[in-house]
């Protein structure tokens, strides 16, 4: 048990260090995305590719290693600047994409981007996922302007779930980001 906890702590520390050291580089540059092993795709195409890779723990979407059980993501939906795979197997892996970010006292500057991305996810999942029936949660709002909405596959059995957040970047005080996560939900 201690070994597993230690390994998870090391993985998390390595990932946080990689994010903290990334600085303020312009990661919207398509060449930089491709150099990191990723490929920019249309928004819906990217979301659906990520959903299809969920059952194998996103193995087909792993590009360059960035830590223990962490990789840069091969697919980056349009509107996002980077993605990563965190975890090495189904039920433990999550595909995370980072979008717009803003400096401020709270995440309110990103509410328009959150609403627009939320509608785009609704549209993609409603029209393009045969065999899946997604249900969207209400949007939960938290202190500091943070928000979250969830989509769950109601078709039965484990399947891909999505979370869209406005989240404070704890390594860069006062910085908020749009985060789209995909994981296996039971």
Residues 160 and 150 sit within 8 Å (Cβ to Cβ): no
> Which range among 6-10, 35-39, 53-57 has the greatest average pLDDT?
53-57
pTM of the model: 0.76
The mean pLDDT of 76-85, rounded to a whole number, is 95
Task: Please give the helix or strand (H or E) that residue 94 lies within, else none.
Answer: strand 94-103
> Which range among 10-19, 33-42, 159-168 has the greatest average pLDDT?
159-168
Q: For 41, how many CA atoms within 13 A lie in the half-sphere containing its CB? A: 18
Per the DSSP assignment, residues forming a β-bridge with 136 are 151
Task: Please give the helix or strand (H or E) that residue 47 lies within, else none.
Answer: helix 43-53
Sign of CA dihedral 66, 67, 73, 78: negative
pLDDT reading at 7 higher than 60? no
Instruction: Say what the pLDDT of residue 27 is.
Output: 39
Neighbours of 17 (CB within 10 A): 13
d(CA 117, CA 164): 8
Instruction: Say what the pLDDT of residue 133 is.
Output: 82
* C-alpha distances out from residue 107 to 93, 147, 163, 182, Å: 27, 8, 17, 21
Q: Which residue has the tokens 């303020």?
A: 24
pLDDT reading at 42 higher than 50? yes
d(CA 31, CA 13): 28
The mean pLDDT of 27-42, rounded to a whole number, is 56
pLDDT (tens digit, 9 = 90+) per residue, 133-186? 888 999 999 987 899 999 998 887 788 999 999 998 888 778 899 999 999 987
The mean pLDDT of 93-116, rounded to a whole number, is 90
Per the DSSP assignment, residues forming a β-bridge with 101 are 177
Residues 52 and 46 sit within 8 Å (Cβ to Cβ): no
Greater model confidence, 46 or 1: 46
pLDDT confidence bin for 38, thresholds 50/70/90? low
Mean pLDDT taken over the chain: 80
In 3D space, the residue among 38, 34, 101 whose CA is nearest the CA of residue 73 turns out to be: 38
């Amino acid at each position: 048990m201690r070994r597993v906890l230690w390994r998870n702590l090391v993985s998390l520390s390595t990932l946080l260090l990689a994010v903290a050291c990334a600085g303020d580089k312009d990661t919207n540059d398509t060449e930089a995305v491709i150099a990191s092993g990723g490929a920019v795709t249309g928004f819906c195409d990217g979301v659906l590719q990520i959903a299809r890779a969920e059952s194998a723990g996103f193995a087909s979407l792993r590009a360059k290693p960035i830590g223990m059980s962490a990789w840069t993501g091969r697919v980056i939906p349009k509107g996002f600047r980077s993605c990563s795979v965190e975890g090495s197997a189904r039920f433990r892996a999550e595909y995370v994409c980072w979008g717009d970010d803003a400096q401020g006292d709270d995440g309110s500057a990103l509410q328009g981007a959150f609403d627009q991305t939320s509608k785009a996810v609704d549209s993609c999942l409603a029209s393009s996922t045969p065999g899946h029936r997604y249900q969207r949660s209400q949007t939960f709002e938290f202190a500091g302007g943070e928000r979250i909405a969830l989509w769950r596959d109601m078709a039965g059995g484990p399947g891909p779930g999505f979370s869209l957040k406005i989240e404070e970047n704890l390594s860069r005080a006062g910085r908020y980001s749009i985060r789209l996560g995909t994981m296996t939900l039971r």
